[in-house]
Each structure stands twice: as structure tokens, then as C-alpha cells.
Amino acid sequence: MSNAELSLLNGISQRAQRLDESPIRSIANYGMGKNDVTPLWFGEASSATPDFICQAASESLSRYETKYTPNTGLPELCQAIAHYQNNLFGSHFAPENVSITVSGTNAVMIAAQSCLNPADKVVVIEPLFPTLAAIPEILGCQVIRVALKTKGKTFYLDTEELFSSLHGAQALIINSPSNPTGWVASKELLTEILKFCRQRGIWIISDEVYSRHIFDSEAAPSFCELVSEYDRVIICNSFSKAWAMTGWRLGWLNIPKALIPTVRKLTEFNVSCASAFSQAGGLAAIEQGEDFVQSSVAALKKSRDCMLQFLGDLPNTTLYEMKATFYGFLKIDGLGYDSQPYLREMIDKAKVGVAPGEAFGVSGAGHIRICHATQLPLLKPALERVREFILNVKPF
């Protein structure tokens, strides 16, 4: 690296410099373009966005709906989301409790910018999707990580440890159902957390993008069921997972009405607004997409069972129970913090790419995350190759 390049890099944000490159992206970059590799590294269904959603966006474009939209989203979409959630959770949201975002990630960023200041203490629960810790770090906060505990093949949250860590905190960021573990917080646990944070004025930022991907009920327990208009709770959601719209970059926030002016300004200064035609697709998803959601979850249940069949009984491994999401989180004895060499070898020999566990925090090291949201004719042979690889190639 030349002196000129070093001088340039010395001038960039120190917070940006401290951010680690995503190990998931590193593995994907290694495997992309290689022949016959089955990609199970990203959290993305193999199915395409349903035609009725694409058609709604296409019709919007045909009407030349390509101008700016309101910062907080099209009123009809906000109203539809409030109605959808009220029916699903028994909540009492008004359209003014909904603000449209440019993706679930953008939802988390705007939520964090709404209630965090530099040097604030923020508690996160890991293993977690790396964005949830990176966003408060970018904002200059002190991030404290509380790891889920395990008992057998089950993850659980030690509330005593969590509440102790929340002393002096400005916010808690929680993701349930959880990426990557599939852990689901019960309604009783969410109630206990809300009561604790309510008494101490601690904000809760709840990432609920996998709320519909649960296998024993219509939806996972949600803060939507519990919050009042004056609770310090911001709920983040996305169209990406439930309606196979990852590339559409469309999400939403549930917020107290008092937060609307702040969220409106932050949206303006981050992204201005979501596009009209993507919101037209989102409206179709909300109003017409229930059959698609239910059929998708039924298919995911079959792919989850397929993963149990091939990887549930491997020696020297633990495949944690999969109550929700579309991931398997597999612990491999002997797999260290840097699993990249092992997973590159898996790509080369087994022709399958998966996500390294260390991407999800220190407590994720020694694990791999496998996305099973893939059609069975492709998933079955891929998992069979993963099984043979793990049986025959040791990570040490």
C-alpha cells in the first residue's frame, strides 16, 4: 500500500475502520462463481417474489408512479400494515404508529438513531445478526453482549444476567425469532423484559422480521401484543422474509405517535423515502399475501425436517432445535473461531456454502448456520454432501 493510500485511509472514520468485514460475505465471495456450488450462506429463500406482488409494482410503474413519496410511507400502506398487525396480534395500532423504511436494516438504523446518543450503553443478545451490533457501534455507543445459554439442544435467555447487564443502559436490542439460532422469546419473557425496561426508562428495539416464520403457531410472540402508546418500544419489520422480497428493500417500524416527527426527519436525511412502486408491491403483499406466507411456512417445515434427517444425528455435533426462522445452527466440535478455511474446503469438496458462526458474535464461534429455505430437490443432495463432508473432514 502506497504512502498516499495510507494517508487517505488514516483520514476516514475510526468507527468505520473498526468495523469487521462480514465473514458471511467473505465466504459468499469465495463461493460465488464456482461451478455447481449450492449457496446456503445468505438468509434468503430460493423462491421468487410472488407474481401478484410483482404485478402490483409493475402496474404502479405503468402509471409512472416514480416521484417522491411521504417520508413515513404511503398512507394506504401504513393503514394496511396497522390493520394486518391488529388482526394478527390483537394490537391497537393506528396508521400513525407505522413508518415505512427502505429495508429492515434501515428500520433498525432509524430506530437506533431515534433513541441513541454517542457513548450510550446498548445491550444486545447474541448470537445475533451482525448488523444489530454494528449499527449502535457506528453511532458511537458502548455495546454490551449477553449470550444465550444452552441446555441440551435448546437456547434460553438468562434474565438475571440480562437485567444485570441493563444497569445504566439506554437501550436493549432484541431479535426474536432469532437469526441465527431460531430461539423464540415467549410472551411471558417479553412481558418480563418490557416491565423491567418500562420501570427504568430503557428503550427496546425489537427486530421481528421472522415473526411469521414459526412452526407451531400463526406468529411468534411479539411486543405488538404488549405495548401501550407511551412505551419506549420500537418494533422493526421487513417484507424481505415473509413475502420473499429481499431485493425490494422495504420494511417498516411500529413507533409511538410522539416519535413521528423524529422518524420523519431521520428518514428524510437517511433515504428520503421508499419508492412508490416498491410500496405498491408491499401493499399487495400485506393485503393478498396470507396464502403465500402459510404455504411458505409449510414448505419450510418440510425443509427443516430434511435438515434434521441429514444433520440431526452427526457425531461430535449439536444441531439446535429449530422452532422458527429458516436456519439450522450447528455446533461442530473442534471448529475454532476462524472457520473460514474449513468452510472454503466445504465449498471446494462438498460444493455447498454455509455461513460461519463467528459472524454472529463470539458465542457463535464453533458453529455454522445453514439456510434451509431452498427447494427440497436442491436441498436434499446439498445436505447429504454436507453430512459426508463433516463425517470425513475434521476441522482440526
Q: For position 123, what pLDDT does the model report?
A: 98
Residue 56 has pLDDT above 90, yes or no: yes
For 182-226, the pLDDT digits (tens) are: 999 999 999 999 999 999 999 999 999 999 999 999 999 999 999
> For 11-49+291-390, which CATH class?
alpha beta
For 277-334, the pLDDT digits (tens) are: 999 999 999 999 999 999 999 999 999 999 999 999 999 999 999 999 999 999 999 9
pLDDT category at 18 given cuts 50, 70, 90 is confident
Instruction: Give the domain 64-288 fold.
Output: Aspartate Aminotransferase; domain 2 (3.40.640)
Query: Which ranges of the chain would DSSP assign to H, the alpha helix?
Result: 3-10, 14-18, 23-31, 51-62, 75-89, 104-115, 131-138, 159-165, 187-200, 260-270, 276-288, 290-311, 340-350, 376-392
Please state at what angle helix 276-288 crosses helix 75-89, rounded to 10 degrees. 30
**Nearest-angstrom CA–CA distance, 209 and 242:** 8
Residue 19 has pLDDT above 90, yes or no: no
Helix (H, G, I), strand (E, B) or coil at 194: helix
User: Would you kindly state where each structural domain of the chain is located, as residue ranges?
Assistant: 11-49+291-390, 64-288
pLDDT category at 45 given cuts 50, 70, 90 is confident
Q: What is the mean pLDDT of residues 371-393?
A: 97
Q: For position 193, what pLDDT does the model report?
A: 98
Examine domains 11-49+291-390 and 64-288 and report if their fold is the same. no
